[in-house]
Amino acid sequence: MKYKDRIKGLMILMGVIVAIAWVAPVFILLNSSFKSLKEIYISILAFPKEIVFSNYTQAFEKLDFVQSFTNSIMITVISTLIIILFSSMTAWVLVRNKSKKSTIIFMLFASALLVPFQCVMLPLVDLMSHLNLMNRFGIVIMYLGFGSSMSVVLFHGFIKNIPLELEEAAMIDGCNIFQTYFHIVLPLLKPIMVTVSIINAMWIWNDFLLPQLVINKTGWQTLPLKTYLFFGQFAKRWDLGTAALIIGMIPIIVFYIASQKYVVKGVTDGAIK
């Protein structure tokens, strides 16, 4: 028993050391973000002699934070909402309507998961510029198009296991297809909705390439895109750069801490199913 406890203690100690190494990069970043540029170059490893908070106010301004944060939030939230609404509707009728066309449409959505983004990006940009969709409205449509594959597959798997009786009863009582869906089915989908929302929101929030191709215009840029442009402009300014990176990480870390349980469930379920 004692031997076992010692092993366990040793393992935990190792775990704590690894965990410290794991947060070290972010800690170092945080530490440097309070230093002047001169101090970063002279004594990068030490604690800041005096706290320079102006890095943050400058980075905040250079990132156009209010604007780019608003763009990111709006695009992420609206895209995620329409993805979960339309994908769940699609998945529901595909499950309930057992026919050849349902199978074909489902396979279409699923097989697109194997197509990498690089393979569609050039024709997509070409097509979208013809349709005048190279804007913030267009990118939401694109997120719906890309997000629907995974989301339909996930909803499909979940809805298959929901008993049909409730819906049949509702139909017999005179509910039409919309009433049945919104009053009966939708409330039952809550657990999988959380999963699908988390997966899509995380991907869209962090996405860089699609915004770079579609909405790379002043005033439209999202936070990752603006961060990238920021480093193009201030490559050697690590005083501002470290602060900008911390600013960029804060929203996602706050979100994670506030909804850790759902994030972990969403990410795990999304991967396993």
Partner 1 sequence: MKKSNWGFWGFIAPSLLAFILVQLIPTITGIYYSFTDWDGIGKSKTFIGLRNYSEAFTTDSKFLHAFIFTFAFTLCAVILVNLIGFLLALLVTMKFKGSNLLRGIFFMPNLIGGILLGFTWQFIFVQIFSALGKKLGISWLLGWLSNTETGFVGLLIVVTWQLSGYMMLIYIAQLQNIPNSILEAAQIDGANVFHRLRHIILPLVAPAFTIGVFLTISNAFKLFDQNVALTNGGPANGTQMLALNIYNTAFFESRFGYAQSKAVIFMVVVAGISLFQLKIGKSKEVEL
Please give the full DSSP string across 183-201, using - where no structure is assigned: IIIHHHTHHHHHHHHHHHH
Q: Which of 14/74 has CB closer to partner 1? A: 14
Q: Which of 12/74 has CB closer to partner 1? A: 12
Q: Give the contacts of 45 (CB within 8 A, at least 6 positions apart).
A: none
**In the complex, what is the shortest distance from the CB of residue 248 to partner 1, in angstroms, rounded to a whole number?**
5
**In the complex, what is the shortest distance from the CB of residue 44 to partner 1, in angstroms, rounded to a whole number?**
4
**In the complex, what is the shortest distance from the CB of residue 202 to partner 1, in angstroms, rounded to a whole number?**
7
Q: Give the contacts of 128 (CB within 8 A, at least 6 positions apart).
A: 134, 138, 142, 214
Q: Which of 121/188 has CB closer to partner 1? A: 121
CA quadruple 127, 130, 133, 135: dihedral, nearest 10: 110
C-alpha atoms less than 13 angstroms from C-alpha of 159 in its C-beta half-sphere: 24
Length of the chain counted residue by residue: 273
In angstroms, the Cα distances linking 40 to 93, 152, 220, 228 are: 59, 49, 33, 21
**In the complex, what is the shortest distance from the CB of residue 190 to partner 1, in angstroms, rounded to a whole number?**
19
What is d(CA 68, CA 87) in angstroms, rounded to the nearest whole number?
28
**In the complex, what is the shortest distance from the CB of residue 129 to partner 1, in angstroms, rounded to a whole number?**
6
